[in-house]
Amino acid sequence: MHVLILGAGGMIGRKLASAVAAQGIGGQPVSRLTLADVAAPPVPAFSGAVQAIGLDLTAADAPSRLLDGRPEIIFHLAAIVSGEAEADFDRGYAVNLDATRRLLDAIRMTPGYRPRFVFASSIAVFGRPFPEVIPDDFAPQPLTSYGTQKLITELLVNDLSRRGMIDGLSIRLPTICIRPGAPNKAASGFFSGILREPLGGLPAVLPVADTVKHWFASPRAAVGFFLHAATLDTSPLGANRALTMPGLAATVAEEIEALRSVAGQAAVNLIRREPDPVIARIVEGWPQAFTADRARALGFRAETRFDEIVRVYLTEDAPSVAAR
């Protein structure tokens, strides 16, 4: 089996690559692994053939390079993050939509080729007004460019799957927390920062109110989503190949309480409140909770308590922060 991971240099991409290299896909061994990102991503320990490609997804030759060897499973995680996509309209659409469209075009124009295509979408496809808990049949209406780009791609995945050109699946990820390493430009980055930095003895900035509520899952859960999606029987999905992933609804105050329960008041004291109206405006348009019934029924799983999310980080990622 040949597996391609786009965005393999990112946090989830690296973890997914390591998991695929170590355990294969659905109990089946992987003989070839292609990892791609803007810079050549790190290569995990792997017994098969592996190629790490550094390329701009918008380059004209990107589709042909990525599809060399016709990978049976494609994980598409590559994207400009939410805050950057909002700040740079042209770059956001070029990477998050146009480049993906060209890749899908290259797939459909390859005779006899129909890969499993797992697209990393986002709960940012939903915008206000929406109910406190969003059901699976609620219509998405994004209020950011990033969410719009994700939703358009979901529709492309649906259409190409309907026509038999790919066997696609879009998984709407919760905000992934706690993200290890340095902060990125995502508008949601503070959700991880107010935990990650204090756990490492560093100050953190909180730009929104304690009452802000959001939908979370750990990096471990995210990797599990992708691995499960790779072998899922998609026939029960019908025309709608987009699934909102399960997660945990929590307020900023509940995040902070989980931090206090694990690391004490000294860690909480490292959080500095600095309201940012731009971040607050973006975040207030995001959903707070979902039923995620379709995904749960299909076997997708995530954490149910925020202290579980904190402990996943302490178990799997905290040493990298301490060494920073």
Q: Report pLDDT digits (tens) over 108-167.
A: 999 999 999 999 999 999 988 999 999 999 999 998 899 999 999 999 999 999 999 999
Active site residue 113: no
pLDDT value of residue 319: 57
Considering the chain, tell me which residue range(s) the CATH 3.40.50.720 domain(s) occupy. Answer: 2-173+218-244
CATH topology assigned to domain 2-173+218-244: Rossmann fold (3.40.50)
Tokens for 34?
């292609």
Give the C-alpha separation, 146 to 37, whole Å. 19
Considering the chain, tell me which residue range(s) the CATH 3.90.25.10 domain(s) occupy. Answer: 189-214+248-289+303-322
Write down the catalytic residue from 93, 113, 146, 313: 146
CATH topology assigned to domain 189-214+248-289+303-322: UDP-galactose 4-epimerase; domain 1 (3.90.25)
Residue 225 has pLDDT above 60, yes or no: yes
What is this structure's pTM? 0.93
Exposure string of 60-94, with b = 16+ CB inside 10 Å and e = fewer, is: eebbeebbeeebbbbbbbbbbbbbbbbeeeeebbb
How deeply is 323 buried, as exposed, middle or buried, from its count of CB atoms within 10 A (0-12, 13-18, 19+)?
exposed
What integer is the mean pLDDT of 58-86? Answer: 94
